[in-house]
Amino acid sequence: MARTCLAVVLAAGESTRMKSSMSKVLHPVGNRPMISHVMAALEGAGVDAVALVVGRDAQAVEDTARKHALPLSVYEQTQRLGTGHAVLAARQAIAEGYDDVLVVFGDTPLITGAPLTAAREGLAAGHDVVVIGFQAANPHGYGRLITENGALLAIREEKDASSDERAITYCNGGLMAVRGDKALDLLNRIGNGNAKGEYYLTDLVEIVVALGGSAIAVEAPEQELMGCNTRAELAVIERIWQERRRHDVMLSGVSMIAPETVFLSYDTQFEQDVVIEPHVVFGPGVSVAAGAVIHSFSHIEGATIGPKAEIGPYARLRPGAKLAAKSKVGNFCEVKKSEVGVGAKINHLSYIGDTFIGAGANIGAGTITCNYDGINKHITRIGDNAFVGSNSSLVAPVTIGASSLIASGSVITQDVPDNATAFARSRQENKPGHAEVVRARNAAFKAAKLKADEA
């Protein structure tokens, strides 16, 4: 769109109903702060700059918003005197002369660029104010959009609405676009002659109409305009966001056996033909290549999974885990900050941290890389085609050579050369007939304990 656009993002609410130590716009949806979802939608709508109106947790909110590419100016709202007053906190930015001014809220994480673009198109068509509305399944409590022949005449709050107006299901979503060259004049005309003594942004519609201007409404899906005031509403928004994201992922060529049990992050990336079994959680920073299989009850965060790799069930991949093609991390295994080579296997009950595992290596059940000395982390290197026997402890820093064999139960504290076998355990000793001696001793101990208890 050739027109320039400023978005005023209102993020100064006290968030009291969230019962939280931080601003509600910082609460995550899909492991991303709500305000970051809003910023992404603004990018999708071709916005040129953002005026961020902050209050509580101002610095944290600003820092989060600045992670996006849009130029940002920040304004503090020191008094809470209504939405119209909040927008005017960004007076300086509005005065810079953008063609379009969008007003959005920092707690509407389901919004997309589509309705914002539609609102801008309404301004481009010559209208002065464009309100984004929705058809409400239950309109109770919402302001109704009063329209006639396509024009928007007023926004009527329910307490002020007639019985006929209350029957209207076309409701105010709160977001709107205002013609830039008229924005300040219109905003300055908003009064506070109401029971609360506040300045309501919704009054702009009747102000424009009274001045002979033009206002219209554009429709968006109700879900996109959902705001968040409580933890219960946050959970509903999370559910909707997850449903939307799962749907998109499955359409891209990913199979989910029970999609309602899979939880994704905003940046989870999948190639085609990935299979995800039930009850899998993806934290931030995960990419999964074509043909990989993620078995049930796995938790994955900050990991890169190669083509046709196999994860789980009950596996945990932590940040820095990098799995090459056809590798496997099996049940009850944890991998952190480690590279697992092509075709390498970590099948059962193992912890692998700060480790490089070569192609074709096999890590036996119960193997632990002892990477932490209480102060520093150390590296373990396991060569191609090495075989580490079950219940082994590899005490880093240590290198296990290519094609070497580690005997089960070993505690390896020194490097093992290529193609060598390492034993690091006590030699077994058998004592014929000694089992009877041990049992008799144990029985005598038990009898003496019972006698003492009776006494």
3-state secondary structure 290-354: CCCEECCCCEECCCEECCCCEECCCCEECCCCEECCCCEEEECCEEECCEECCCCEEEECCEEEC
| Residue 418 located in a structural domain | yes
- The count of structural domains within the chain is 2
> Which CATH number does the domain housing residue 406 bear?
2.160.10.10
- In a shared domain, residues 205 and 237: no
How far is Cα 413 from Cα 45, in angstroms, rounded to an integer? 59
| Residue 448 located in a structural domain | no
How far is Cα 442 from Cα 43, in angstroms, rounded to an integer? 75
| Residue 145 located in a structural domain | yes
| Residue 428 located in a structural domain | no
How far is Cα 223 from Cα 154, in angstroms, rounded to an integer? 23
The CB density around residue 197, as the number of other CB atoms within 10 Å, is 10
Q: What angle do CA 167, 173, 179 make, to 5 degrees?
A: 120
- In a shared domain, residues 216 and 156: yes
pLDDT digits (tens, 9 = 90+) for 258-301: 999 999 999 999 999 999 999 999 999 999 999 999 999 999 99
How far is Cα 109 from Cα 30, in angstroms, rounded to an integer? 10
- State what percent of residues in the chain have pLDDT above 90: 91
451 backbone dihedrals φ, ψ, rounded to 5°: -65, -40
> Which CATH number does the domain housing residue 211 bear?
3.90.550.10
Identify any residues that bridge with 142 across adjacent strands, giving them in sequence order.
none
- In a shared domain, residues 67 and 129: yes
- State what percent of residues in the chain have pLDDT above 70: 100
What local confidence, expressed as pLDDT, does residue 426 receive?
Answer: 86
Range(s) of the domain holding residue 264: 231-422
The tokens for 339 are 């590279």
- In a shared domain, residues 171 and 204: yes
Do residues 282 and 301 make contact, with C-beta atoms less than 8 angstroms apart?
Answer: yes
How far is Cα 392 from Cα 423, in angstroms, rounded to an integer? 10
Question: Which range is least confidently modeled, 93-102, 191-200, 324-333?
Answer: 191-200
The tokens for 391 are 């219940």
- Examine the fold and report which residue of 188, 206, 225 is the final residue of a domain before the chain moves on: 225
Instruction: Examine the pLDDT at 27 and tell me if it is beyond 80.
Output: yes
| Residue 329 located in a structural domain | yes
pLDDT-derived band at 448 (thresholds 50, 70, 90) equals very high
- In a shared domain, residues 200 and 318: no
CA distances from 339 to 121, 202, 253, 407 (A): 50, 56, 27, 23
- In a shared domain, residues 306 and 346: yes
Do residues 321 and 338 make contact, with C-beta atoms less than 8 angstroms apart?
Answer: yes
- In a shared domain, residues 387 and 252: yes
What local confidence, expressed as pLDDT, does residue 13 receive?
Answer: 83
185-212: average pLDDT: 92
Q: Closest Cα partner for 301 from 288, 291, 316?
A: 316
22-51: average pLDDT: 97
Instruction: Examine the pLDDT at 53 and tell me if it is beyond 70.
Output: yes
| Residue 366 located in a structural domain | yes
| Residue 271 located in a structural domain | yes
155 backbone dihedrals φ, ψ, rounded to 5°: -115, 115
How far is Cα 354 from Cα 337, in angstroms, rounded to an integer? 5
What local confidence, expressed as pLDDT, does residue 209 receive?
Answer: 95
What local confidence, expressed as pLDDT, does residue 243 receive?
Answer: 98
- In a shared domain, residues 13 and 148: yes
Instruction: Examine the pLDDT at 33 and tell me if it is beyond 90.
Output: yes
- In a shared domain, residues 42 and 104: yes
What is the average pLDDT score of the chain? 95
pLDDT digits (tens, 9 = 90+) for 158-188: 888 899 999 999 999 999 999 999 999 999 9
Instruction: Examine the pLDDT at 197 and tell me if it is beyond 90.
Output: no
- Examine the fold and report which residue of 225, 250, 272 is the final residue of a domain before the chain moves on: 225
- In a shared domain, residues 148 and 289: no
How far is Cα 338 from Cα 92, in angstroms, rounded to an integer? 51
pLDDT digits (tens, 9 = 90+) for 64-113: 999 999 999 999 998 888 899 999 999 999 999 999 999 999 999 999 99
- In a shared domain, residues 139 and 266: no
CA distances from 212 to 102, 176, 201, 230, 346 (A): 21, 19, 18, 40, 73
| Residue 159 located in a structural domain | yes
- In a shared domain, residues 216 and 332: no
How far is Cα 400 from Cα 415, in angstroms, rounded to an integer? 6
pLDDT-derived band at 302 (thresholds 50, 70, 90) equals very high
What local confidence, expressed as pLDDT, does residue 173 receive?
Answer: 94
What local confidence, expressed as pLDDT, does residue 16 receive?
Answer: 87
What local confidence, expressed as pLDDT, does residue 1 receive?
Answer: 66
What local confidence, expressed as pLDDT, does residue 15 receive?
Answer: 82
Return the active site residues. 348
- Examine the fold and report which residue of 210, 225, 240 is the final residue of a domain before the chain moves on: 225
What b/e readout covers 150-166, taking b as 16+ CB neighbours within 10 angstroms?
eebebbbbeeebeeeee
